[in-house]
Amino acid sequence: MTENKKKVAAYWASSCGGCDVALLGLHEKIVDLLENAEIVFWPAATDFKYDDLKGYPDDEIDITFFNGGIRTDENEEIANLLRKKSKTLVAYGSCAAQGGIPGLANMSSREELLETVYTKTPTTHNPEGLIPSEVSTRDGVELRLPGLQERVRSLEQAVDVDFFIPGCPPPPNLTQKFLGALLEGELPEKGSVFAGERTVCDECDREWKGKSISEVRRPHEVEIDPDVCLLDQGIICMGPATRSGCGAGCPEVNVPCKGCFGPPAKVDDQGTEMLNSLASILQVGEEGKGLEEERNILSGLRDPIGSFYTYSLPSSIFGGRVDDGGKDE
Amino acid sequence: MEFEPELVGFLCKWCSSAGADLAGVSRRQYPSNLVPVTVNCSGRVDASFILKAFKDGADGVLVSGCHPGDCHYTSGNYKAWRRVAMVKRALEEFGVNPSRLRLEWVSATEGDKFASVVEEFTGEIRELGPGPFNHD
Amino acid sequence: MGSKPRVGVFVCHCGENIAGSVDVAKLAEEAVGLEDVVFATDYEYMCSDPGQNKIVEAVDEEGLNGVVVAACSPSMHEETFRNVVEDSGLNRYRCEIANIREQCSWVHRNGGTSPTSKALKIIKGAVQKVKRNIPLEPVEMDHSDKCLVIGGGVSGIQAALDVAEAGNEVILVEKEPTIGGHMAQLSETFPTLDCSQCILTPKMVQVSRHPDIELMTYSEVREVSGFVGNYRVTIEKKPTYVDPDACNLCGDCEDVCPVEVSDEFDEGLSTRKAIHIPFSQAVPSSYTLDEDACLGLNPLCCTECSDACDADAVNYDESSQFVEEEVGAIVVATGYDLYPKEEMGEYGAGSYQDVVDGLEFERMLSATGPTGGEVRRPSDGEVPNNVVFIQCSGSRDPENHNPYCSKICCMYTAKHAKLYKESVPDGNAYVFYIDIRAGGKEYEEFIQEVQEEERVLYLKGKVSKLEEVDGSLRVTGVDQTIGEKVEIDADLVVLAQSIIPSDRAEEVSKQLNLNLGPNGFYKEAHPKLRPVESIGGGVFFAGAGQAPKDIPDSVSQGSGAAAKAMDLLAKPTLSQDPQVVEIDEERCSGCGLCLGQCPYGALELNSRGIAEVNEILCEGCGTCVSGCPSNSLSLKNQTDEQVNEVIKAYVGD
């Protein structure tokens, strides 16, 4: 029967590992899966070596769930290898699909990151200020670490991707649905995002009642009305600029959407789109009368990149911080 | 060779593009660095247009609409005002000098102002040097 | 485009206007190399017949499905070329204009390659846009045949009569109890000195008798919704407490009314009762009980007028009625007010009784006025022997008052001086003026006549001070002609107060979504070519609300506005620019953020909870399109993709 089983692989690149756990979140369904599928590579769960993978013929693996973005040379090397060995490569989870939270590191240069992590954090004891280097020699033995790349990229920015399953992590029902489609041979068109076609608002029962908002507030500053749209209450909720498919679980429990499902179909830069929409609906007093105050609110927003590009910075228009010499004034 | 800035100008059809036309009718000379995109309203200008213009290699972006109170569509220019304020903030975070993005109110009667704005903006960006994605 | 794009580029030389600084041949040559451009040529005048024929021929021979005309501003010839493209069998939106004249050749005449390379970018952008344009057909809609006229002064009266004469129903709304406006207050009119009421009242009567005019006096427009061709208007008809059909004008009510208040028709120079008729020829000819002046209606404190009325016309239970009407066109004729004397600190800020404004003086001169047509000063009723007229009071003074010329004051001051001299032949009349502006038919002759024959002393100069000294008014000014200070002790001073827009203008402009210019006058669609139209269409201006005007100009503009309204109402259907917003129903989630962004209320959520656009209301600004966080809205023929591709064409290489 082994021959008829689908060969499945999973890999964890630059991410927290939650997506691997999410695969296990299929619970007993994973037993059903294993009746029809065979795991051929999954470093987090089973003992495979890269050499095993290298030994497979091309296209040997039916499907690979790749989670995490591309941060190191190792991530990139394995992404390329898995691409070669897999018939179908799935960017699994927000990090692989859009770059994810690790992608926010793109607001700092590689050097800044290393310096911060190895010399500046309060818990670091590194009096000599040593920074790891790619190649080092100890007792005559050359040691190599995978190189840290300048920027985090989404999987698609490194290799060709067949499907995207977004989410931080992807909800089990979505994974299950995808596996069902895979086993039935009913996968959608290449390049599809396996989630909803609209935005989180479509699945959210809250209602936008106003015409505009007059302030931006943080969730703890508001006694949240459970029926009214969070944005309408001045709370930044990424729902309107985030693809549906999650079931709107976060807003349902008074937690604003952070955008983990990435942009909806027609949007290519989720953060910019939401910044733009927020600016559009913010209005202090009569339209046109509160311009200065509106500008102050918008330009005083705390951490706009962290808030609006939480999961999508690497796949945004700018991709991260850019170098432009001078500053204003 | 001296750096010649490449500028994109989003002009609303009713005021600023008409103002630019008037500069023409008055034969008011100004630098040719800014290439105009006429949109119906400054409120039509999406933040992503601005970021994409920079990504495509623009060194500076001008958004120009009707004066407050004069928008042909009553309030599109106020949206433009806020979007530009927001994008400026984002640009700053992204490490791009926010003065590469400029918002101006130019009415249909302000041909001279339009020309002066382009003149001034071109000079300013020439000083600042190439934009974040101008790798020519 | 359906089939593969085949774009033709037509570069106009515009004589030397474009070709003088742009290498037009090179543009055509380079254009042919652009993707999807299958034909390009340059020609001396594309707008000429042979030029237009080149487009028609090329569409036919080359099978073009997109046309870019690189020429002057689209405001000049976009219509022309779209018509040509339509004549050649393509949809008119298959044509785009690349503005390489106003925005390129004319402003970069320094020569060199830069204007040419900028022009090429503009052409590339237009090519990118046109090949993504979709064919569109105008949105057709029915319209109401009625016309609303706001304001019953002479221009509103003229507009109402003209529209009604053409066979359309008219609703004429006037906030005062009578129509007639300021013209009804005037004594004689310059330069012919016809009696104002004599020429106006027949027109007022004509209005009241016209079968197609519904006259609503003592009424105000409260709410306007809808759009050109289909406005829904709510009009408040305030209670007059007198049934106009029953009232026989006997005046018994007025006689017994115990309340006397200042009479606004006489500019406060006389008093009237709480129940009153503004003037004897008022239309409608009926009494009005001024509820603010009345001793009290609720609870009822006095029933004198009702008791005295044999006709039983007084009804204390009347209340405001709100009437809803649908109209297709609106004429706005809200008129003017005088800049308050109180604003004139230099002339006593309204504290001197014998300093009057032009309208007060008109009432003094009027045979039906408070003094029966005799000039008598307000303080003691004496005939003034020295009268000083001060022109440009509040006008042409950007630092302190209004920057503009009020246009009619030179003429009416001359008339005032003349009428005063006729009334008091031995009196002295002095006119202080900055310039005399008498541009109008037989106006200059009139001024000459007043200056020469009436022995009115015209002093070129400004009055710097006006103060009360020993019971008379000391006027200190300068006579620039002799360069000396002049002091005149006057018995009466007449200020030619600046003309300002009526206090209704601001509210009406909000209700109708009109623009006001810097001085609060209505802003026309074009100051020269479309002076009676509003920018949004459907609303037309008549009279001094648009700019200070005299009677002939107000009447002319009233007729002009009427003609425009009739033009609109005569069309079987109205067509709307189809470049409006479109909603992707597969993507919209009904988040609702767009709704409040539309200034026209064109968006709403439908029963499926997704946004829906009213194509008639949508003006196509695209603000909502940019404000949609899921890009589910798009603006037809100005999509995000089109704009982004144009940008790439500009800075892409």
Tell whether A324 lies on the interface with B, counting CB pairs under 8 A. Answer: yes
pLDDT for C517 equals 80
Cβ-Cβ contacts under 8 Å, B56 against chain C = 647-648, 651-652
Cβ-Cβ contacts under 8 Å, A280 against chain B = 79, 82-83
Q: Do C593 and A239 touch (CB under 8 A)?
A: no
Cβ-Cβ contacts under 8 Å, B78 against chain A = 283, 287-288, 291
- For CA atoms A151, A156, A159, A164, the dihedral sign is positive
What CATH code is assigned to C7-136? 3.40.50
Q: Do A273 and C593 touch (CB under 8 A)?
A: no
Return residues 34-93 of B near C (CB < 8 Å). 35-41, 43-49, 52-53, 56-58, 69-70, 72-76, 79, 83
* Mutation choice for C interface testing from A203, A277, A278, A317 by most C CBs within 10 A: A277
To the nearest whole Å, the CA of B128 is away from the closest chain C CA by 18
Q: Where are the domains of chain B?
A: 7-128
Tell whether A294 lies on the interface with B, counting CB pairs under 8 A. Answer: yes
Q: Domain B7-128 belongs to what topology? A: Rossmann fold (3.40.50)
What distance in Å separates the CA atoms of residue A83 and residue A66, rounded to the nearest whole number? 10
Subunits with at least 3 CB pairs below 8 A relative to chain A? B, C
Instruction: Please say if the pLDDT value at position A1 is more than 50.
Output: no
What distance in Å separates the CA atoms of residue A94 and residue A80, rounded to the nearest whole number? 19
Q: Do A287 and B90 touch (CB under 8 A)?
A: no
Single-letter code of the amino acid located at A157? Q
Closest Cβ opposite residue A264 in set C623, C627, C630:
C630
Instruction: Please say if the pLDDT value at position B5 is more than 70.
Output: yes
Tell whether B117 lies on the interface with C, counting CB pairs under 8 A. Answer: no
Single-letter code of the amino acid located at C599? P
pLDDT in tens, A103-155: 999 999 999 999 999 999 999 999 999 998 899 999 999 999 999 999 999 99
CATH class of C339-500: alpha beta
Give the gyration radius of chain B's Cα atoms. 14
Quote the pTM value: 0.75
pLDDT for B59 equals 96
Q: Do B95 and A280 touch (CB under 8 A)?
A: no
Q: Do C593 and A197 touch (CB under 8 A)?
A: no
Pick from C519, C569, C512, C570: nearest CA to C541: C512
What distance in Å separates the CA atoms of residue A231 and residue A281, rounded to the nearest whole number? 10
Asked whether the beta carbons of A69 and A155 are under 8 A apart, the reply is yes
Q: Do A210 and C591 touch (CB under 8 A)?
A: no
B15, β-bridge pairs: none
Closest Cβ opposite residue B37 in set C125, C599, C625:
C125
pLDDT for C1 equals 46
DSSP letters of C214-266? EEE-SEEEEEEEEETTEEEEEEEE---SB-TTT-----HHHHH---EEE-TTT
pLDDT for B1 equals 65
Tokens of residue C425, six digits: 């032949």
pLDDT for A217 equals 93
**3-state class of C477 per DSSP?**
strand
Return residues 228-287 of A near B (CB < 8 Å). 268-269, 272-273, 275-276, 278-280, 282-283, 287
What distance in Å separates the CA atoms of residue A16 and residue A101, rounded to the nearest whole number? 9
To the nearest whole Å, the CA of B127 is away from the closest chain C CA by 19
Q: Do B37 and C620 touch (CB under 8 A)?
A: no
pLDDT in tens, A24-43: 888 888 888 888 889 999 99
Instruction: Please say if the pLDDT value at position A3 is more than 70.
Output: no
pLDDT for C296 equals 82
pLDDT for C129 equals 98
pLDDT for A31 equals 84
Instruction: Please say if the pLDDT value at position A326 is more than 50.
Output: no
What distance in Å separates the CA atoms of residue C204 and residue C213, rounded to the nearest whole number? 11
Q: Which residues of C312-351 are buried (b: 16+ CB within 10 A; e: fewer)?
A: ebbebebeeeeeebebbbbbbbbbbbbbebebbebbbeee
How many CB atoms are closer than 10 A to CB C483?
A: 8
Count CA within 13 A, CB hemisphere, residue C248. 7
Asked whether the beta carbons of A258 and A311 are under 8 A apart, the reply is yes
Single-letter code of the amino acid located at C256? V
What distance in Å separates the CA atoms of residue C597 and residue C618, rounded to the nearest whole number? 12
Tokens of residue C162, six digits: 């003209």
Interface of C with A (CB under 8 A): 584, 586-593, 595-597, 623, 626-632
What distance in Å separates the CA atoms of residue A245 and residue C25, rounded to the nearest whole number? 56
Q: Where are the domains of chain A?
A: 6-101+152-183, 200-324
Q: Domain C147-238+321-335+504-570 belongs to what topology? A: FAD/NAD(P)-binding domain (3.50.50)
Cβ-Cβ contacts under 8 Å, B75 against chain A = 287-288
Q: Where are the domains of chain C?
A: 7-136, 147-238+321-335+504-570, 252-308, 339-500, 577-636
Give the gyration radius of chain C's Cα atoms. 31
pLDDT for A325 equals 54
Which residue in chain A is spatially nearest to C633 when comparing CA positions?
A266
Q: Which helix (H) or strand (E) holds C100?
A: none
Which residue in chain C is spatially nearest to A263 when comparing CA positions?
C630
pLDDT for A328 equals 40
Tokens of residue B108, six digits: 């249909």
Please list the ranges in chain C whose pLDDT falls under 70: 1-2, 111-113, 652-653
Asked whether the beta carbons of B47 and A279 are under 8 A apart, the reply is yes
3-state secondary structure chain A: CHHHCEEEEEEECECCCHHHHHHHCCCCHHHHHHHHEEEEECCCCCCCCHHHHHHCCCCCEEEEEEECEEEEHHHHHHHHHHHHHEEEEEEECHHHHHCCHHHHHHHCCHHHHHHHHHHHCCCCCCCCCCCCCCEEEECCEEEECCCEEEEEECHHHCCCCCEEECCCCCCHHHHHHHHHHHHHCCCCCCCCECCCCCEHHHHCCCECCCCCECCCECHHHCCCCCCECCHHHCECCCHHHCECCCCCHHHHCCCCCCCCCCCCCCCCCHHHHHHHHHHHHECCCCCCCCHHHHHHHHHCCCCHHHHHCCCCHHHCCCCCCCCCCCCCC
What distance in Å separates the CA atoms of residue C616 and residue C308, rounded to the nearest whole number? 55
Pick from A200, A191, A205, A306: nearest CA to A262: A200
Count CA within 13 A, CB hemisphere, residue C89. 10
Asked whether the beta carbons of C559 and C532 are under 8 A apart, the reply is no
pLDDT for C112 equals 61
pLDDT for A329 equals 36
* Mutation choice for B interface testing from C107, C513, C528, C530 by most B CBs within 10 A: C107
What CATH code is assigned to C577-636? 3.30.70.20
Pick the CATH number of A6-101+152-183 from 3.40.640.10, 3.10.450.50, 3.40.50.1100, 3.40.50.700: 3.40.50.700
Cβ-Cβ contacts under 8 Å, C641 against chain A = none
Closest Cβ opposite residue A326 in set B81, B97, B133:
B97
What distance in Å separates the CA atoms of residue A207 and residue A5, rounded to the nearest whole number? 47
Cβ-Cβ contacts under 8 Å, C590 against chain A = 201-202
Max CA pair span of chain C? 93
Which residue in chain A is spatially nearest to B131 when comparing CA positions?
A324
To the nearest whole Å, the CA of A140 is away from the closest chain B CA by 43
Torsions phi, psi for C477 (to 5 deg): -145, -170
Cβ-Cβ contacts under 8 Å, B29 against chain C = 107-110
What distance in Å separates the CA atoms of residue A73 and residue A62, rounded to the nearest whole number? 25
What distance in Å separates the CA atoms of residue C572 and residue B57, rounded to the nearest whole number? 51
pLDDT for A327 equals 39
**3-state class of C501 per DSSP?**
strand
Q: Which residues of C387-419 are buried (b: 16+ CB within 10 A; e: fewer)?
A: bbbbbbbbbbbeeebbebbbbbbbbbbbbbbbb
Tell whether B113 lies on the interface with C, counting CB pairs under 8 A. Answer: no
Pairing, β C329-332 against β C147-150: parallel
To the nearest whole Å, the CA of A143 is away from the closest chain C CA by 44
What distance in Å separates the CA atoms of residue C544 and residue C584, rounded to the nearest whole number? 47
pLDDT in tens, A265-319: 999 999 999 999 999 999 998 888 899 999 999 999 999 999 999 999 999 999 9
Q: Do C595 and A211 touch (CB under 8 A)?
A: yes
Q: Do C107 and B43 touch (CB under 8 A)?
A: no
Integer angstrom CA distances of residue C403 from C395, C509, C517: 6, 22, 13
Tell whether A266 lies on the interface with C, counting CB pairs under 8 A. Answer: yes
Asked whether the beta carbons of A247 and A263 are under 8 A apart, the reply is no
**3-state class of C128 per DSSP?**
helix
pLDDT in tens, C571-628: 999 888 899 999 999 999 999 999 999 987 789 999 999 999 988 778 899 999 999 9
pLDDT in tens, A201-228: 999 999 998 889 999 999 999 999 999 9
The position carrying tokens 């000396």 is: C484
What distance in Å separates the CA atoms of residue C240 and residue C216, rounded to the nearest whole number? 12
First to last CA, chain C: 25
Pick from C411, C270, C249, C405: nearest CA to C339: C405
C42, β-bridge pairs: C11
Which residue in chain A is spatially nearest to C629 when comparing CA positions?
A241
Cβ-Cβ contacts under 8 Å, C598 against chain A = none
ipTM > 0.90, yes or no? yes
A8, β-bridge pairs: A39, A63
Pairing, β C66-71 against β C95-99: parallel
